[in-house]
Amino acid sequence: MDRKVRVRFAPSPTGPLHIGGVRTALYNYIFARKNGGEMILRIEDTDSRRFVPGAEDYINESLGWLGIQFDEGVREGGPHGPYRQSERRDIYRRYVKQLLDDGKAYIAFDTPEELEKAREEIPNFQYDASTRMKMRNSLTLGEEETRRLIDAGEQYVVRILIEPGRDVIVNDLIRGEVKINSSIIDDKVLYKSADDLPTYHLANIVDDHLMEVSHVIRGEEWLPSAPLHVLLYEALGWKDSMPEFVHLPLLLKPVGNGKLSKRDGDKLGFPVFPLEWHDPNSGEISSGYREKGYLPEAVVNFLALLGWNPGDDSELLSMQDLIEKFSFDHCSKSGAKFDYKKGIWFNHEYLMRMPDDKLADLFMPVLARKGVDGFDKEYVAHAVGMVKGRADFVDDLWTQADFFFKAPEEYAAKDVKKRWSADTPRIMGELIEVLEGIDDMTSANAEKIVLDWIASKGYHLGNVMNAFRLAVVGSCRGPHMFDITELMPREEVVARIRKAVERIPAPEN
């Protein structure tokens, strides 16, 4: 294959980009980068009734967040623009005319009522070779009458003329050869005079051709349209430069059967959109991966493995790794279950591997939200570094590390009961003296001194250490105690022990 790789992502701005669409964009991007090719963003906005304001910006912002970049598009510009289909009317008109002139398409005037009537009267009605001569179109009315109706202002559509009884072959790089008979394809509408715009099918083919697209990589739901597209390439005389087709496997429900839907996400508590979406019409808010605290790298990694595998057992793959390893040979034909828990796992892995200072940057806004300030970034970085192994999301860092930023207000009753005895206040008093006498609070050094003191007094190691922890953390959880006291200012540690002694009522012996 010596053709330059050019791919396109061609969303319709009809609402928020679904996570399946994000995966399609990702595979296009990875494939283009792998092959030193180019990637186009084309906005398919020919269906004005389904247009939703804000959807185009949402698409741009989502893909930008994930690091999916375009070489040509509405924002990037490029030699094949405009990249918004609603701005390409003149171009489409030219090809509608060509198809009509060549007898590959015809004009039809049937009203919705007439079509409804045909559906009632003719069993399994389909507008095709078996029925078209019973309908109101240029083939039955003749040229003159057709002209007259158009001049009189009657609205019409242009339909492709499908020849029945032919095998149509779609070569798909994942599915191989898909063969269907043209008799089952109807004379699809290619253009509507009412809004002077082509339908998806024609616009798609014209643009893919003019934009020199080499590979059409899209979701499996478009496979049924592919035979029609092959016939359109033929009708337009472009068969030799037809792109390769790649239909990606469906994303399936995490449990049960069928296609992943927004309802699955609502039910099980995971987002099906990359970013939070505020519906401009209903006001409804749908959750997004970004706002839920997912890292873009984790989302990319997770999505890439839904329907593709690297051929070995590696799982943690950066965008660069994906670009190196990707090929359609390892894409599956069958649908991929949307294992959202695996997405959480990926997030955890990426969070854990993130350098502490970067993680601190992400955590600072959480601190601000909690009304905490006055901590420098280095302190925050150390704190989150100690607890990141226990967090799936940035927000979880607060649950794990809150005590680094504020003294406990309460003490876990269960731990108090188990670890705070009548002797504890006295022992804590001694501990304060020991701590104040330490020159070097480095974890290992402080640990040795404190443990030696416990041993020399014959105290119960577990009880003393847990009471210590209870006073500083508020419960018996958290990282290594002496790592905590290495980071936290000694006065703060001491103040917390004093406060605990004051607050926790000593039990009767």
Per-residue x/- marks for ligand GLU, 32-51, CB under 6 A? ------------x-------
For the question of residue 262 being annotated catalytic, the response is yes
User: Please, which residue, 10 or 383, has the CB nearer to ligand GLU?
Assistant: 10
Looking at 5, 7, 11, 157, which residue binds ligand GLU (CB under 6 A)? 11
For residues 11 and 479, which CB has a smaller minimum distance to ligand GLU in the complex? 11
Q: Rounded to whole angstroms, how far apart are CA atoms 112 and 426?
A: 90
Closest approach, Cβ 233 to ligand GLU, in A, equals: 13
Taking the complex as a whole, the smallest distance from the CB of residue 205 to ligand GLU amounts, in Å, to: 9
Report yes or no: 424 and 506 within 8 Å, Cβ to Cβ.
Answer: yes
Residue 509 corresponds to which tokens in the numbers above? Answer: 């012996």
Question: 478: phi > 0 → left, psi -120 to 50 → alpha, else beta; which?
Answer: left
Q: Which of 5, 10, 19, 476 binds ligand GLU (CB under 6 A)?
A: 10
Shorter beta-carbon distance to ligand GLU: residue 38 or 44:
44
Using CB under 6 A as the binding rule, whether residue 415 contacts ligand GLU is answered as no
In whole angstroms, the minimum distance from the beta carbon of 10 to ligand GLU comes to 4
Q: What's the DSSP call for residue 222?
A: G
Structure tokens belonging to residue 343: 């997405």
Per DSSP, helices labelled H in 36-183 are 55-65, 89-101, 112-121, 138-151
Check residue 466 for interaction with ligand GLU (CB under 6 A): no
The phi and psi torsions of 339 (rounded to 5 degrees) equal -85, 85
Query: What count of other Cβ atoms lies within 10 Å of the Cβ of residue 30?
Result: 24
The two three-digit tokens of residue 211, written as one number:
């934009």
| Part in contact with ligand GLU (CB under 6 A); list of ranges 7-15, 29-37, 66-74, 487-495 | 7-15
Phi, psi for residue 220 in degrees, rounded to 5: -60, -25
Q: How many residues bind ligand GLU (CB under 6 A)?
A: 8
**What is the rounded distance in angstroms from the CA atom of residue 505 to the CA atom of residue 509?**
12
Q: CB-wise, 29 or 200, nearer to ligand GLU?
A: 200
Rounded-to-integer distance, Cα 273 and Cα 50, Å? 19
**Binding piece for ligand GLU, criterion CB under 6 A, among 8-16, 152-160, 347-355, 407-415:** 8-16
What is 317-348 written as a DSSP string?
Answer: --HHHHHHH--GGGB-SS-EE--HHHHHHHHH
* Least CB distance to ligand GLU at residue 208 (A): 8
Q: Which is nearer to ligand GLU, 247 or 325 (CB)?
A: 247
Q: Closest approach of Cβ 51 to ligand GLU, in Å?
A: 12
Catalytic site residue from 192, 259, 262, 499: 262
- Report 165-224 residues binding ligand GLU (CB under 6 A): 200, 204, 218, 222
**Minimum distance from residue 212 beta carbon to ligand GLU (Å):** 16
Q: 220, 249 in Cβ contact below 8 A?
A: yes
Give the nearest distance from C-beta 295 to ligand GLU in angstroms. Answer: 26
Nearest in space to 286 (alpha carbons), one of 48, 17, 57, 64:
17
Q: What's the rounded Cα separation, in Å, for the pair 497 and 500?
A: 5
Cross-strand pairs, 331: 308
Distance CA(227)–CA(178), nearest Å, equals: 9
Closest to 382 (Cα-Cα) out of 406, 412, 404: 404
Q: Is 12 in the site for ligand GLU (CB under 6 A)?
A: yes
Binding mask 218-257 for ligand GLU (x = CB under 6 A): x---x-----------------------------------
- Which C-beta is closer to ligand GLU: that of 20 or that of 478? 20
Residues serving a catalytic function are: 262
Residue ranges that bind ligand GLU, judged by CB under 6 A: 10-12, 44, 200, 204, 218, 222
